[in-house]
Amino acid sequence: ARLLLWARAEVNAVDGLGATALHYAAGAGHHEVVKELLQAQADSTARDGQQQTPLHYAASGMSPDVVHALLASGGNPCALDAVNDTPLSIALQLRNHEVAMAMVKPPAAKENEATTSFQNSGQLEAVALAGELNNVVQ
């Protein structure tokens, strides 16, 4: 990523699937790369061909730090993709509880409008009713 940024590559360039470097770094759990891309103005809300954001990709990773960085940059845990999955629903389907918890309860200093919107959307209650968060807390 540093080499691409040093060469002044377009930080939001997309591949044939519509994904950006941020999508791939988020999915791979590369926190430092995600931070560098975000500092270079990578779009944390960019959508690929399946309407997935980098936060959707991060849902399958194992890095709560990546989730926190994306949330702090405007990522939305309520964003629906082409099949109506949200980043949170993907994390829960994969039983990636640590990442799901990071989406539900980000560090207090890093809450943004999207996480507040999520907390007020009713999705948190739906998840709790499904029993998924009980598994996370235990």
Calpha distance 49→31 (Å, rounded): 24
CA quadruple 38, 40, 44, 46: dihedral positive or negative?
negative
Quote the distance between the C-alpha of residue 33 and its chain's center.
14
Calpha distance 120→111 (Å, rounded): 13
pLDDT at 105: 83
Calpha distance 55→20 (Å, rounded): 12
Q: What residue ranges do the domains of the chain occupy?
A: 2-137
- Under the banding of pLDDT at 50, 70 and 90, the label for residue 137 is very low
Report the CATH fold assignment for 2-137: 1.25.40
What tens digit of pLDDT does each residue of 63-118 get? Answer: 999 999 999 999 999 999 999 999 999 999 999 999 999 999 866 544 555 555 55
Closest CA to 74 of 100, 105, 42: 42
- Higher confidence at residue 134 or residue 87? 87
**Average pLDDT taken over every residue of the chain:** 83
Gyration radius (Cα) of the chain, Å = 14
pLDDT, mean of residues 123-136: 50
**Burial of 105: CB neighbours in 10 Å, binned 0-12, 13-18, 19+:** middle
pLDDT at 130: 47
Calpha distance 10→19 (Å, rounded): 13
- Under the banding of pLDDT at 50, 70 and 90, the label for residue 44 is very high
Calpha distance 83→95 (Å, rounded): 19
Q: Which residues contact 52 (CB under 8 A, 6 or more apart)?
A: 23, 81, 82
- Higher confidence at residue 127 or residue 71? 71
Q: Is the pTM of this model over 0.85?
A: no
